[in-house]
Amino acid sequence: LQVIGAVEPRVADAIGAELADQRASLKLIASENYASPAVLLTMGNWLSDKYAEGTVGHRFYAGCQNVDTVEALAAEHARELFGAPHAYVQPHSGIDANLVAFWAVLASRVEAPALEKAGVRHVNELTDADWAALRRQLGDQRMLGMSLDAGGHLTHGFRPNISGKMFEQSSYGTDPGSGLLDYDAVRERAREFRPLILMAGYSAYPRRVDFARMREIADEVGATLVVDMAHFAGLVAGKVFAGDFDPVPHAHVVTTTTHKSLRGPRGGMVLAQPEFADAVDRGCPMVLGGPLPHVMAAKAVAFAEARQPAFAGYAQRIVDNAVSLAEGLTRRGATLVTGGTDNHIVLVDVSGFGLTGRQAESALLDAGIVTNRNAVPADPNGAWYTSGIRLGTPALTTRGFGADEFDRTAELIVDVLSSTTPTATRDGSPSKAKYATADGLADRTRDAAAEV
C-alpha cells in the first residue's frame, strides 16, 4: 500500500478500507470468496505487461514463452482438476466464457456444416450470397435456459445481455409447489422449442442439477448441452457434485467463472469436449480481447490449490454450512425457496417478514451483514425490488466458519429482519425501498457480526 500510496493515496486508502470492511462484516454474497495470498500476488506482476493473442505456441506476438508456460499450466491443472478433455483459460470473465461457448457451438453446429456444404474451408471464400445466407442462419438459432426468477443468469439468452440478441430464447422454470426443477417440464419445453443450445446452470437456484438428465433431454431434441457452472465450480472441483451432478462428463461445453466457489482470480474458463475444442480456442480474437497473462497465471495457482486434498474438505464444508444456515433460518421462522439447500446458496423469501428484498438487503447491510436481494420464483416485486435475499457460504467458509458460526449468523439475520419494518414515502404510499430497524439493533448486530 505504501508503493501505491506514493502515487495515488486515495486508491491505497480504498484498498485498505476494503480489507477492513471485508474483515469486519459477514460476507454472504454467494458469488464472492476470499482468494489466497498466492492467488492475489500472482496477479500483481510483470506478466500483466505482455500481449499474447493466440494460443500456446501459436501467438501473434513474439516473446510469449513465459505466457505459454503459465497458460499451458493453467489449462493442464484445469483438465486434471475437472477431468475435462480440453480447457481454455483465456476468458476474462464468466460472461466472456459464455460468449466463447455460444460462438463455439454456432461455429461447430451451424457454420462448419454450411462451409462444408459450400465446399470451402473459410468464411472468406464464401460467395456474398452464401455468406448472407449463413449470417441469417447464424442469427436464427434458439436457446433454452432457466428463467431468471427461477435462478437462471442474464447471459443465458435474456434481452439485456448480448445472448438475448443473438438467440431466440425460451425458458424453463421450477415447479410452483416445490420450487424444484421439473425435468419433465424441461423435456416438454425442449421438444416444443427445439433449441440449438440447452443451457443449464444458475446463479440463484439452491439445489443440485441432474446433468445426466439434462443431457438426455438435449440428445432427444438434437440440442447441444452447455452448462454454466460459474457458481458451483468449487463444488465440482471438490467432488461434492459427482456422478450425474458433475456437469463435465455430461455437457458438450462447460463454462465457469474462476472467482466464486472455486476461489481463484476474477476470470472465466471454458471446458469442452474435443469436437468443440478448436472453435473454443478461437475465442480470442473472435469475441475476446488479448489474454490477461497475469490472471491466467493466477488461475494456474488457484487450480493447483484446488487440486490439493484439503480443497475437497473445503467444498464439503461449504455445503454443510449452507445446510446449517438454512436450518438455523427455518427454525427461527424464515421461509426458504425450495425449503432448504443442497449447494452453497440459501434463498430467503423475505415477504414473510413484510419486507421487500431491497429493504432486507439494506437493513442487513446496516447491521454488517452483506447479502444481495434476489427475485424469487414468480416474484410480485420484480427484479429490482424483489422479495428475496440470496445468501452464500463460500466466503465465510474460507474464513473458517462452521455450523455454530452459521447458526449464529442465522440468528443475527432473523433478528434484523424481524425488527425491521417498511416505511412510507412522503405521500403516505408504502415504499419498496425504505425501512426502519428497531433503535440501536443495527449497531449492536454490527458488533456481534464482527465478533462472529
Cα–Cα distance measured from residue 346 to residue 394, given in angstroms and rounded to the nearest whole number: 12
Given 71, 96, 149, 228, the catalytic residue: 228
By CB under 6 A, which span of 100-108, 224-232, 374-382, 384-392 interacts with ligand PLP? 224-232
| Contact call for residue 93 and ligand PLP (CB under 6 A) | yes
| Contact call for residue 231 and ligand PLP (CB under 6 A) | yes
Q: Identify the CA nearest to 248 among candidates 229, 223, 224.
A: 229
Q: Residue 67 or residue 233: which is nearer to ligand PLP going by CB? A: 233
Nearest distance from C-beta of residue 116 to ligand PLP, angstroms: 32
Q: Indicate the Cα dihedral angle 125, 196, 261, 203, nearest 10°.
A: 130
Question: Helix or strand or coil: residue 78?
Answer: helix
Q: Is 257 a catalytic residue?
A: yes
Answer whether 86's CB lies under 8 Å from 273's CB: yes
| Contact call for residue 171 and ligand PLP (CB under 6 A) | no
Q: Which of 33, 90, 108, 155 binds ligand PLP (CB under 6 A)?
A: 155
Residue 21 identity: D
Q: Which of 54, 145, 201, 234 binds ligand PLP (CB under 6 A)?
A: 201
| Contact call for residue 95 and ligand PLP (CB under 6 A) | yes
Distances in whole angstroms, Cα of residue 331 to Cα of each of 303, 334, 449: 37, 7, 20
Nearest distance from C-beta of residue 155 to ligand PLP, angstroms: 5
| Contact call for residue 265 and ligand PLP (CB under 6 A) | no
Nearest distance from C-beta of residue 257 to ligand PLP, angstroms: 4
Q: Residue 31 or residue 338: which is nearer to ligand PLP going by CB? A: 31
Q: Is 385 a catalytic residue?
A: no
Residue 154 known to bind ligand: yes
| Contact call for residue 343 and ligand PLP (CB under 6 A) | no
Distances in whole angstroms, Cα of residue 378 to Cα of each of 167, 179, 184, 347: 24, 10, 20, 14
Tell me the H-state helices in 47-161. Answer: 65-82, 94-106, 112-118, 128-138
Residue 146 CB: number of other CB atoms within 10 A? Answer: 26
Residue 93 identity: S
Q: Which of 149, 228, 327, 379 binds ligand PLP (CB under 6 A)?
A: 228
Q: Is 50 a catalytic residue?
A: no
Residue 148 known to bind ligand: yes
Given 27, 260, 317, 432, the catalytic residue: 260
Cα–Cα distance measured from residue 149 to residue 383, given in angstroms and rounded to the nearest whole number: 8
Q: Is 260 a catalytic residue?
A: yes
Distances in whole angstroms, Cα of residue 359 to Cα of each of 27, 146, 174, 286, 363: 18, 26, 26, 42, 6
Please give the annotated binding residues for (6S)-5,6,7,8-tetrahydrofolate, written as ranges.
148, 152-154
Which residues of this protein are in contact with ligand PLP, per CB under 6 A? 31, 93-95, 153, 155, 201, 203, 228, 230-231, 257, 268
